[in-house]
Every structure is written in structure tokens, then in C-alpha cells.
Amino acid sequence: MPDRELEQADFGARQVPLADKQALVDDVFRSVARRYDLMNDLMSFGLHRAWKDALVTAVNPPKNRPFALVDIAGGKGTGATVCDINADMLAVGRERAATRGLGDAITFTEANAEALPFRDRSFDAATIAFGIRNVPRIETALAEAYRVLKIGGRFVCLEFSAVTIPGLDTLYDLYSFNVIPALGRAVAGDAESYRYLVESIRRFPKPEAFAAMMRAAGFARASHRLMSGGIVALHSGWRL
């Protein structure tokens, strides 16, 4: 096993032992769980809903046969089988599913993306929206997503990316590092968690580098599509 002190991970502006990153991420999402949707609406001006619709459209589940979908790090409850390591996010997801009459249609499982509690080749699709950058060992999570997919199954990942429009990138940085933490303080009573979320976006691999990580995990036809000037990217790969 690698030496604990040498195995490091970025946590915002800090370097922390990789083994400690998950606990710190858990604290962030425990803090923001109840205001998560409201903050997403405010931070993205509602665009996060259109981005997530694009993910659902990409999955395109058939209507005439059973389709097994696992939504990884999806504690808010947007998939058929939802797994998330954070119990607070899952609790909010269960409440929302019950309110919408979907309690029997969605299964919630507390689980780590790096060690999914599912059989090999058991899902037709695996999705993760705005969660992969918070996983300490991204390569391990990608390998797990690949493992649980059936042959012909698709992995679709929605994640923040790097703005590609000159000028917009500067404005985006000013907004991200100044307005978003202030919103977090005013709405959720927590500026530091949102400062971490902003910093984690900047540290996430660029789309081409992430596609290479997907290919290393076994995914074929790894590709990405930038949206909203590069603010987010929709990544896709297949188990063939």
C-alpha cells in the first residue's frame, strides 16, 4: 500500500492525505444537503436543470423493454437505482421521491463509488452528475462503473469543465470565487463548503484528460460535448 503521507489529494486549496478526502467531502455535502437544489438554481441561474436533462436525453432508455440504470453519487434521487456515500443526501432524495410518488420506483443505496455493491454486468447504463470530481480515486470509480455495466452498456458523466470563450473565463472566475461563496454564506450558512466546490472544479482534469482516464478504465468510444461555453461537459463511453 502507498505510504499514507505520500498519497495526497487536493481538497480546495489544501493538500490532504488521500485517505482523508472522503471524510472531508462528506462533511461538505452533509452541510449543504438541505439547500442543495436551491443553491444549484441560484448558482447556475437554473441551467443545471437543462444540463441534467441533456444527460437523461443522452441515456435515452428504451420504452419497450426493462432498462437497469444506476445513478452514482446521485443522493438527490434522479435514477432508478441511486447510490451515494452521503446519508444526508440520500435522506433528502428519499423524501423527494416519496413526495413525487416514486418511492417504489427508485432504490436508494448508501455506497462508495469506489466500491459499488452490485454484481458485475448488472446495469444497462451508469450515470454520475457533478459527482466524479469529489471522488478521491477517480480511476477506481471509473473502473467500478465499467465493471457493473453490461456489454453494450453506456456510461454518461456530467461534470463542470473549463470555459473556452475568451473573456467569459475571466468573468466566470470572478463570479465563482466571489459570488458563489457569498451565496453559500447567505443561503446555506456555509461559505467554505462552496469555496471548496468551486476550487474542486478548477482542479478536475480537462475533458481530453478525463477521456483518457475513461479509456484506461476500459471504455470504448470515449467522447465529450461541451455546453454553455465549456462551463460543463457531457462525457460518454461504452462497455463493448
Is-contact 129 102, C-beta < 8 A?
Answer: no
Distance (Å, whole) CA 77 – CA 133: 19
DSSP 64: S
Distances (CA, A) of 27 to 20, 89, 161, 190: 11, 11, 24, 11
Is-contact 146 238, C-beta < 8 A?
Answer: no
Mind listing the domains of the chain with CATH numbers? 8-238 (3.40.50.150)
Q: Above 80 in pLDDT, residue 97?
A: yes
Longest dimension (CA), the chain: 52
For the ranges 7-11, 190-194, 231-235, the lowest mean pLDDT is seen at 7-11
Cell 473549463 locates to 162
Is-contact 86 29, C-beta < 8 A?
Answer: yes
Residue with the bigger pLDDT between 6 and 63: it is: 63
Average of per-residue pLDDT across 106-116:
92
Is-contact 70 123, C-beta < 8 A?
Answer: yes
pLDDT at 63: 83
Is-contact 217 130, C-beta < 8 A?
Answer: no
Q: Above 90 in pLDDT, residue 7?
A: no
Is-contact 33 86, C-beta < 8 A?
Answer: yes
pLDDT at 164: 87
Q: How confident is the model at residue 67 (pLDDT cuts 50, 70, 90)?
A: very high
Q: How confident is the model at residue 194 (pLDDT cuts 50, 70, 90)?
A: confident
Average of per-residue pLDDT across 182-202:
85
pLDDT at 26: 60
| Residues contacting residue 228 through CB under 8 Å, at least 6 positions apart | 47, 51
For the ranges 10-14, 74-78, 85-89, the lowest mean pLDDT is seen at 10-14
φ and ψ at residue 175, rounded to 5 degrees: -65, -45
Q: Above 50 in pLDDT, residue 12?
A: no
Q: Which pLDDT tens digit goes with each residue over 140-175?
A: 999 999 999 999 999 999 999 989 899 999 999 999
Q: Above 50 in pLDDT, residue 24?
A: yes
